[in-house]
Amino acid sequence: MRSRLVGFIFVLLLSFHMLAQESYFGWKVGYNKTALKGENSGNVSLSPRNTFSSAFVLSTQMRSLPIGFSLEPGYILKGTQIDHDTLDYKFHYLNMPVLLDVYPVKRLKLSLGVEIARLLSAKNLANDSTRQNIISTYDKRWEVSAAIGASLSVSYFMDLGIRYNTALSQISNQDAIIDRKNLFNQYTQLFILFKIAN
């Protein structure tokens, strides 16, 4: 089922790419504020984590309409900072945002879509630099989330933007150590997009 979905998305984007007036490849780097959310107040305090992301970008715009599509396969570090000496969660993901782009005015792009992500590893990194694999707790390997954002073309080769993302699926049913259940990821991202080829 997932392979069919990925294949359909690829064919759809290829079709729009062939009809596009303007398209480009690019490389995007992001600075993120990621958070782990869940039910219960818990016995420890969770704080947002500063992380980074990187992605390859394919973006197309229709010939006769102010709309287009973007595909952004890449990597993102998610997780949370925990008010506890031996707890510090980091989640490594491969992700694929698939976005509908709207161009209300020249140089401004509004984006809305979904992000499909695959959890590569989930680690607890304690203050003494020991690492503990917590993938048995954070065992929901696939994540689907909603994304909304905006970007401004500051030059022919560079865009600056912001994006908000919240998961529609859980990463774990329960984490007894931090006393939370129904856990999911959120992040806000500031990014720079470098256009490599137009």
- 23-82, pLDDT tens digit by residue? 889 999 999 999 999 988 777 889 999 999 999 999 988 877 899 999 999 999 999 988
Residues linked to residue 96 through DSSP beta bridges, in sequence order? 116
Q: Which residues 6+ apart lie within 8 Å of 141 measured at CB?
A: 118, 119
Over the stretch 11-25, which tens digit does the pLDDT of each residue have?
Answer: 655 555 555 567 889
What is the pTM assigned to this prediction?
0.85
